[in-house]
A and B are shown apart, each in its own frame.
Chain A
Amino acid sequence: MHTSDMNTHFDPFVIPFTLGVIYLFAVVVWRYVKWFAELPEADRRAFRHALFTVRSLKAVREVVEEALLHKSILRVNPLLWYMHLSFALGWFLLIVIGKFETSAYLKEAFNPPHVHVFFRYFYPEEPFRFHRGFNYAFLMDAVLLFILSGVALAWFKRLRASWLGMKKTTKHTRGDRMALAALWVVFPARLLAESATCGIHQTGDFLTHSTGMALAGMVGPDALRMMELPAWWIYSLALGMFFVAMPYSRYMHIFTEVPHIFLRHYGIRGGDKPGSADNFQIQACSRCGVCIDPCQLQSAAAMNDVQSVYFLRDRRYGLLTDPVADNCLMCGRCETRCPVHIDLNRLRLNSRTARAEKAVPLTDDRYAYLRGEDRSEGTGKVGYFAGCMTLLSAPVMTAMQRIFDAAGEEVWWADKAGGVCCGRPLKLSGETDAARRLMDYNKALFEKHGITTLVTSCPICLKVFREDYHLEGIEVIHHSQYFLRLLEAGRLKLKASGATLTYHDPCELGRGLGIYDEPRAVLARLGTLAEPKQTKKHALCCGGSVANFVLNSQQENRIATDAAAVYAATGAETLVTACPQCKSTFRRNSALPVSDLAEAVAAALEVPASAHRIPAAAGRTAAPAAS
């Protein structure tokens, strides 16, 4: 029947598919070239230098593991993983095996893509085993069945997202809906078309042969002959429609994840301000929705349209609004789980920067009032920066004073009498350049006083000191790290109370800076540590984040109450944290008493060691009497 086509491999029904493929590749290539050309010169240079290094091999490995095998999703939920795997790996295999089958059969290395996509139509009488005993028909049927099982799951996911381990599934745009509709049709249409052809010619393998024979039995050979061509048309149209809609849909991630992985391995990932590298990240989001469940704005505050997946969607299509850009705790809970490793916090932040640059012009005399100000006190190689929030917590300040005294440390107090904000809260609003003024002020102050170590009680300050200050010759550490050093050096003696304590990882300290162990090591010397259900990398946010510009106090409190319950469930007597902001938020919402690590340490001090250890310290402010 198809003899005349066999030589030319052509039938008008292949046109929609072919046009779709051409359009898709033109758009994708154009975009990538443009985005790449728009990268800063330094990034392009880094790219060229990294191209022929082992980093490329590592990137290739990750492409296989993530873009094809989706290993990260397996960790989230096996069913969801199977669904993604069946589409990604299945389609990939269908193309690769189909290509081999065609080339082996035609004995030519190259042929246009439509030949292998519609192979069964052009060569319906293909024998079962025709090439060195390699049963392509069987393989192709198996792969098709594999994909169809994924399609069935996708339908199912629409109905019951929770069965796939997700409380919420993602919402769609028009491009998505078109692509999705086409995608749902593609594989059932392929099955129908192949079945029709196999039914007519009594070929095919376990799947297409059986469905083909069943079909023939149902409608009869004549009707089947009439059905055949329309079925192939539907298959081709669905493919063409999918390819045309793809660049405007979430499925763009299928291709973009590849350059994204390479750029990540080359260390090219954009910055505080929006740039071309962001395009690759934004378009690499598969909208898998894994980021939705960990978000406490969703679980505790019933906000369902601000999560990273929606943020990226809106930004991708230029629909980003302030309420979405601003409504994020930047807790990083979603970022640690994103299987594609998108820098969600950085992207959220730099969209705020873009907004602020338009809204708030930076005048020359911004913060000019700080010129010449220096309200610091004391002298010492060790500097202490309390930070705005710590200054509001007198017990923490007193505790720090007592600990410094007990250790006999000479301390330079940067901001005891009121200092300048570290700049991070302003930066988080997007005013990066204005924040730089505050940073420059503090940096000059630190350098002027010749400190070599800077201790801070606030993880928000710590993060910005480490990431944005570029302090040379000054080591910046969190007070938890400082305490541990003092303890290990025998400069502090603590009396363990034996109480059961639970510890809250502040977002900026834990996920933000990877400091999990030091606070725990200090606490272990005070009592027994009871870990909450969600801890360390998966610890909950207190809800009081300075990164959020939308929540009202009731909403904050709801998040905090929810989180506090998780700590209370440990059965501990006290909730210890290591951030003044977390402490303040939890104090309003926790059934357990809340204290900062500094307070817990100060309360357990044995004897103020300073008196006999370092006589010179005796003249300074005496430690308040131990209580």
Chain B
Amino acid sequence: MVDWGYTINKPRAIAYDANDHTWENALQEAVPVLRSCIGCGNCTATCTAGNFVPFNIRKLQTLVRRGEYAGLRKELDKCMLCGKCRLVCPRGINTRKMIVTLKRLLAQPVAAGIPVAPGAASTAGQR
């Protein structure tokens, strides 16, 4: 069978209310225009890092906006901050600002219970 590079996400429940929204709120505040993201995936499709390694910036920020931070540090480390994603975003979202903001949030004292270690929500194979 031809491998088109698509896979289907396994069904899972999002415990939105149970999640910690500290970083999510901080991110939305720093980059309010992120709310206008249409999830088109242009950013991921053009990604320099994603050309070498499974890395999905669209998915990453979507997860953060739901308060899901698992594996964030490890994923963010893949990005080269090249800025291609910003140029192709149809909503003009400053994705580099988004990424830098996330990195800094990671350095701040975290609210209890935020799993920042690499874990469940790996973006592997879901480009």
Contact = CB atoms under 8 A, between A and B. Distances in A.
B94 A552 contact: yes
A321 interface: no
Given A425-B83, A426-B80, A359 B48 contact: no
B107 interface: yes
Contacts of B88: 392
Nearest to A434: B77
Interface stretch (A69-77, A220-228, A363-371): A363-371
Contact of B80 (A421, A549, A581): A421
Contacts of B77: 363, 365-367
Given A426-B81, A438-B80, A552-B33, A421 B48 contact: yes
Contacts of B46: 392
A370 B52 contact: yes
Contacts of B81: 421, 425-426, 429, 431
B82 to A, nearest CB: 4
Contact of B97 (A420, A426, A549): A549
B83 A546 contact: yes
Interface in B60-99: 77-78, 80-84, 87-88, 92-94, 96-97
A546 B97 CA distance: 10
A367 to B, nearest CB: 8
A231 B83 CA distance: 64
Interface in B14-41: 33
Interface string A341-383: 0000000000000001011100101110110010000000000
Contacts of A322: 104
Which residue, A431, A553, A584, has most C-beta atoms of chain B within 10 A? Answer: A553
A360 B107 contact: yes
A617 interface: no
Nearest to A551: B94
A611 interface: no
Contacts of A423: 80
Residue from B51, B84, B87 with most neighbouring chain A CB atoms (10 Å):
B87
Contacts of A217: none
Contacts of A550: 97
Contacts of A429: 81, 96, 100
A420 B48 CA distance: 7
A388 interface: yes
Contact of A373 (B52, B80, B82): B52
B28 to A, nearest CB: 14
A595 B9 CA distance: 42
Q: Is the interface on chain A under 10, 10 to 19, 20 to 34, or 35 or more residues?
A: 35 or more
A392 B84 contact: yes
Nearest to A358: B107
A547 B1 CA distance: 45
B96 A546 contact: yes
A332 B56 CA distance: 34
A365 B77 CA distance: 9
B33 to A, nearest CB: 6
Contacts of B52: 369-370, 373, 418, 420
A389 interface: yes
A354 to B, nearest CB: 13
Contacts of A419: 48
Q: Which of A322, A388, A546 has the most CB of B within 10 A?
A: A388
A526 to B, nearest CB: 27
Given A392-B46, A552-B33, A359 B80 contact: no
B62 to A, nearest CB: 20
Interface string A545-567: 01001111110000000000000
B53 interface: yes
Interface string A423-442: 10110010100000010000
A601 B96 CA distance: 33
A429 B81 CA distance: 8
A584 B104 CA distance: 29
A376 to B, nearest CB: 13
A416 B87 CA distance: 18
Nearest to B80: A421
Contact of B48 (A326, A356, A388, A431): A388
Nearest to B98: A549
B76 to A, nearest CB: 9
Given A369-B78, A425-B80, A360 B51 contact: no
Given A388-B83, A418-B48, A549 B96 contact: yes
Given A322-B104, A360-B103, A369-B53, A389 B48 contact: no
A248 B106 CA distance: 35
Contacts of B106: 359-360
A553 B78 contact: no
Nearest to A363: B77
Contacts of A551: 94
**Which of B81, B92, B94, B107 lies at the interface centre, i.e. has the most chain A CB atoms within 10 A of its CB?**
B81
B94 A389 contact: no
A404 to B, nearest CB: 23
A420 B80 contact: yes
Contacts of B82: 388, 421, 425-426
Given A360-B103, A366-B77, A438-B80, 12 more contacts: A356-B103, A359-B107, A369-B52, A370-B52, A418-B52, A425-B96, A429-B100, A431-B81, A549-B94, A549-B97, A550-B97, A551-B94
Interface of A: 322, 326, 356, 358-360, 363, 365-367, 369-370, 373, 388-389, 391-392, 418-421, 423, 425-426, 429, 431, 438, 546, 549-554, 581, 584
Nearest 10 pairs of A and B residues by beta carbon: A553-B92, A359-B107, A418-B51, A421-B82, A369-B53, A421-B80, A388-B82, A426-B81, A359-B104, A388-B84
14 contacts: A359-B106, A360-B106, A367-B78, A388-B82, A388-B84, A392-B46, A425-B80, A425-B96, A426-B82, A549-B96, A550-B97, A551-B94, A552-B92, A581-B83
